[in-house]
Amino acid sequence: MADRIKQDLFQAIADPTRRAILALVALQALTPNAMAEKFDMSRQAVSKHIKVLQECELIKAEQSGREIYYHFNPKKMKEFDQWLDQFRKSWETRFNQLDTVLSTLKKQKK
């Protein structure tokens, strides 16, 4: 089950529209109509993106009167960050090695 959740999470954030929706709701809770106004697509299309993000628990719905507001769920994004962390150390090491090589080459040209 955990693999399915991770797969869904990665699939969800792979889509540029869903990443844009996440960026919007990270700033403030929004209704589906408010989100749809930010995109050149129908409310129905935005609702499909919202459904994927909600199923992956990247956003949470909260009823307020007649409106439903969607909030960013930073705890779920932490799961993605932890997965990335295993690669981050490797990238940092490689970038530091590249910096050393470039610095050495620059000194040799002088």
Q: What is the pLDDT along the chain (110 residues), one digit of tens a residue?
A: 444 545 578 888 999 999 999 999 999 999 999 999 999 989 899 999 999 999 999 999 999 999 999 999 999 888 888 888 888 888 888 888 888 888 888 888 87
Query: Which pLDDT belongs to residue 7?
Result: 52
Question: What's the rounded Cα separation, in Å, for the pair 33 and 17?
Answer: 15
Return d(Cα 56, Cα 7) in angstroms, integer.
Answer: 9
Handedness of CA 67, 19, 72, 10 (dihedral sign): positive
Given a contact cutoff of 8 angstroms between Cβ atoms, the answer to whether 61 and 95 are in contact is no
Please give the Cα distance from 83 to 25 (Å, whole number).
22
DSSP, residue by residue, 49-98? HHHHHHHTTSEEEEEETTEEEEEE-HHHHHHHHHHHHHHHHHHHHHHHHH
How far from chain centre, in Å, is Cα 75?
A: 12
Is this structure's pTM higher than 0.75?
no
Q: Which three-class secondary structure state does DSSP give residue 24? A: helix
Residue 45, pLDDT score: 94
In the chain, where the domains are located: 2-80
Q: Top-level CATH class of 2-80?
A: mainly alpha
